[in-house]
Amino acid sequence: MAFNGNPRPQAPYGQYAQQPMPTMQGGEPYGMGSPIDTNAAYSFEKAERVSMSRAYAEMAVGLLVTALTAYLTARTGLLLAFMQATGALGWIGMAVVQVAFAMILSVRVMRMRTSTARVMFYLYAALMGFTLSTIFITYSLPSIMLTLVISAGFFFVLSMLGLTTRRNMLGMGSIFMAGLLMLILVQVVMLFLAPSDTALRVVSAIGIILFAGLTMYDAQQTRVIFATYRSQGPEAIKRVSILCALNLYLDFVNLFLYILNLVGDRN
């Protein structure tokens, strides 16, 4: 199943506040015969770029942790040894632990120390890598590497579209969530059936489309979250960047898995 079963973490998503227009002495608004404070505008844009860069950097480190853990787990046979020792209960336990990590991090991140939240995110990424090590058994290494490059390029383009388009996608959150729940339900049903290759490819194509939309949605949402918390100081921004990195991380991982299911060369 391409989606890892974790609920998408939620955060207090604020909208841009409508600030009252500042006025000069005597009540005349700025901009009516008065120069705009370009320094303030530049400072805000710079802070926004730094905050967004921090979120994507945290996501990139998480993906690196996942990739290294998956590769080392596959090379050492650690996952197979774990499964032989624990059976299906071990796999279920791993899934429960991953869900717990994601939920705790998403709900309590703003009350954690920044270092604690970062460690939890990287541990979650390592757990994800442990379970995803099975792709090295199922698919050829060149196929995995090619899919990784395609996914990275696709994710970059989608993020840039989300950040530059004038279309506001934040109102589509409920639509994306409904689509995600339906996709999970379909995949759960398919676990108990013997779906054809065509059915699996159709589901993978739908998953790619859905997570392409979610990537653009989360890119816009990240900007809004930073705008909401920017007045609470640098520590709040660091915590929020970890939460946003988790959202973007899940988008990338799921895009990668669905693309791999669709075009990957199986062993």
End-to-end CA distance of the chain: 18
- Band of the pLDDT at 49, cuts 50, 70, 90? confident
Q: Which residues pair with 139 in a beta bridge?
A: 266
Reading phi first (left if > 0) and then psi (alpha if -120 to 50, else beta), residue 29 is in beta
150: which residues sit within 8 A by CB, 6+ positions away? 259, 263
Reduced to 3 states, what is the DSSP secondary structure of residue 75? helix
pLDDT at 168: 87
d(CA 93, CA 192): 20
pLDDT in the model for residue 197: 84
> Cα(199)–Cα(84) distance, rounded to whole angstroms?
31
In the prediction, which pLDDT does 44 show? Answer: 52
**Quick one: what percent of the chain has pLDDT higher than 90?**
44
- The predicted structure's pLDDT at residue 61: 96
**pLDDT band (50, 70, 90) for residue 30:** very low
* Average pLDDT along the chain: 81
Spatial CA neighbour of 158 closest among 85, 251, 61: 251
Specify the residue for token string 């979610």: 214
* 29 beta partners: 23
For residue 31, the model assigns a pLDDT of 42
Name the more confident of 51 and 114. 114
